Structures are given as C-alpha cells and as structure tokens.
C-alpha cells in the first residue's frame, strides 16, 4: 500500500487569495524567466538574499498546505531555480502555482 498524499489545498479562500498575492509579488520583484520541461515548471529568480528568503518561505508554506506538490529551490549559476511539479492528478494546481509567480 502506498502513502499517497491527497491532491488538495488545505487553505481557505481568504488564505489562498493572500498566498497568491504574496507569490505574485515575489514574482514581480525577482522572476527573471520561466519555462516548462514536461510536467516540471522551472522558474528563475534573482539570487539575492531577500528573494531567497521569500522563496524559502513559500516552499515551506506550500509543503504544509499542498503536500502533493514537489517544490525545490536550488542555485543555478547566478540565479535561483524554483522547480514545481506534481502527480498527474495535481498538475493543474502546479500549473496555476507557476502562473501565479508571473502575475
């Protein structure tokens, strides 16, 4: 038996609206580019300490409310790389999250 994570967000409507606004602001402040490789979104950000901190907060928060998402933050040369993916049933949510960074 597998320990499947439910494909659902545990945030209420107001909390979700606030989270999306925060994500859009981080994107507006530091997103350089984004692309997709199959079902994985790759978002490149400026590699300054403030952007790193804000992205780390988002990754931690999303791990709590949407545990099925696979988010990772790494350095990619002189940029930060945020990767977002999900199981097939949750791909629409991963797509929406990636779009939220673009405002």
pLDDT of 6: 66
- The DSSP code for 60 is H
Q: How would you classify the pairing of strands 31-37 and 70-76?
A: unpaired
The predicted-structure confidence for 84-95, as pLDDT tens digits, reads as follows 999 999 999 999
- The mean per-residue pLDDT over the stretch 13-36 comes to 91
- The mean per-residue pLDDT over the stretch 30-58 comes to 95
pLDDT of 13: 75
Using DSSP's 3-state secondary structure scheme, residue 6 falls into coil
């Amino acid at each position: 038996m597998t320990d499947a994570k439910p494909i659902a967000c545990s945030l209420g409507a107001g909390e979700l609206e606030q989270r999306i606004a925060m994500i859009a602001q981080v994107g507006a402040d530091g997103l350089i580019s984004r692309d997709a490789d199959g079902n994985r979104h790759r978002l490149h950000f400026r590699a300054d300490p403030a952007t790193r901190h804000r992205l780390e907060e988002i990754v931690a928060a999303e791990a709590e409310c949407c545990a099925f998402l696979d988010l990772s933050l790494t350095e990619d040369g002189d940029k930060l790389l945020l990767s977002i993916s999900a199981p097939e049933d949750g791909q629409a949510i991963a797509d929406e999250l990636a779009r939220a960074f673009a405002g």
